[in-house]
Amino acid sequence: MTASVDGQRPEDTPLLEVGDLVVHHGQLKALDQVSFQVFPGEVYAIIGANGAGKSTLLRTIAGLHHPTSGTVLFDGQNVTGLRPEHRARQGIVMVPEGRRLFESLSVEENLKVGATYARKGPWTIERVYETFSWMRDRRGQRAGQLSGGEQQTVAIGRALVANPRVLLLDELSLGLAPVVVQRIYTMLPQILQTGLTVLLVEQDVSQALRVASHIHCLLEGRTTLQGTPAEVTAEEVEEAYFGLASAVGATPHARLDADGQSGKGSEPPWRG
Ligand SMILES: Nc1ncnc2c1ncn2[C@@H]1O[C@H](COP(=O)(O)OP(=O)(O)OP(=O)(O)O)[C@@H](O)[C@H]1O
Ligand SMILES: [Mg+2]
């Protein structure tokens, strides 16, 4: 979709760097030594089955979970110990799983909430209305009365008005019809044009492969595969996702098949 879809890194310095992250929920090790770098302008996708640790990862980057060990660097600075609102001020903003709008508040009131820790930047409530014109017409309506897709869009708008540098998107497609998911993902180029970097979580692998410049698969908290969509084969993704065989991954980048074919073109079973 964007300049980086062919796997070329737009710049050499990572905007976000996660190093050896270990996160526990009580006794459960939800993330185990997860490391990766996200470069400016990328759409970096975390994929994985239920319980793989995807939300834990995004929430830890946003400052909502404290890691047992490991680091989160943002623009070269160690933000591992920063509170969520301080990270937001630096430009780490999340659209949480399940959208989490204030349902009894209006659309506009929800957008105002998003502006609470806003940085200066191109996104304002007005800009959100220009981008999603239906929202202006319905700005006085209670968020709880909107459809799921509309609510997801308001949740994105609420994050945008904070003027993120990296936007963390946790399962935009959750509970939405495929056509609605498509519509939501078609907004991404407009969002990226304003200079944003996106780190997204998706269970819908085909969707992730369509939009991402880089994918990273988690299985039970561990990295099983990393690479560009062009580098990974459908078989590798399937194995990494479901853990069907000994992990292909844990290599920095997935390679082509032995016969030199890339996975592009061969369809994994979940592709419709
Ligand atoms: N607050 C919590 N307390 C205890 N366990 C948790 C908590 N949050 C997540 N877990 C557990 O940690 C593991 C990872 O959960 P997480 O929500 O990060 O996975 P996920 O990949 O986002 O899954 P899903 O696709 O279902 O959203 C799961 O086993 C989950 O049950
Ligand atoms: Mg989740």
Q: Measure Cα distances from 255 to 5, 28, 141, 250, 267 in Å.
A: 17, 32, 50, 12, 17
Token pair, residue 58, equals 């995004």
Chain-centroid distance, C-alpha 161: 17
Token pair, residue 175, equals 């509970």
For residue 231, what are the β-bridge partners?
A: none
Q: Which pLDDT band, with edges at 50, 70 and 90, does 18 fall under?
A: very high
Yes or no: domain 1-91+165-272 corresponds to CATH 3.40.640.10: no
Ligand 1, residues 23, 27, 28, 199: which to mutate, most atoms within 8 A of Cβ?
Answer: 28
Q: Which pLDDT band, with edges at 50, 70 and 90, does 99 fall under?
A: confident
Supply the mean pLDDT for the chain. Answer: 86
CA 203 – ligand 2 centroid, Å: 9
pLDDT at 245: 54
Residues with CB under 6 A from ligand 1: 25-26, 28, 30, 48, 50-56, 97, 203
pLDDT for 255 beyond 80: no
**Residue with the larger pLDDT of the pair 227 and 272:** 227
The number of the ligand 1 atom at minimal distance from the alpha carbon of 31 is: 14
pLDDT at 203: 85
**Residue with the larger pLDDT of the pair 8 and 194:** 194
Task: Name the residue ranges covered by the structural domains of the chain.
Answer: 1-91+165-272, 100-163
CA 25 – ligand 1 centroid, Å: 8
Q: How far apart are CA 257 and CA 263, in angstroms?
A: 8
pLDDT at 151: 94
DSSP string of 88-130, one letter each residue: HHHTEEEE-TT----TTSBHHHHHHHHTTTPPSSS--HHHHHH
CB neighbours of 186 closer than 8 A, spacing ≥ 6? none
Report whether 165 contacts 88 (CB < 8 A).
no
Identify the residue whose tokens are 């994050």: 159
The number of the ligand 1 atom at minimal distance from the alpha carbon of 57 is: 18
DSSP string of 185-222, one letter each residue: HTTHHHHHHTT-EEEEEES-HHHHHHH-SEEEEEETTE
pLDDT for 272 beyond 50: no
Q: How far apart are CA 160 and CA 9, in angstroms?
A: 24
pLDDT tens track for 78-92: 999 999 999 999 999
pLDDT for 174 beyond 50: yes
CA 170 – ligand 2 centroid, Å: 7
CA 155 – ligand 2 centroid, Å: 16
pLDDT at 75: 95
pLDDT tens track for 201-212: 998 898 899 999
pLDDT tens track for 57-67: 999 999 999 99
pLDDT tens track for 177-226: 888 888 889 888 988 988 999 999 998 898 899 999 999 999 999 999 99
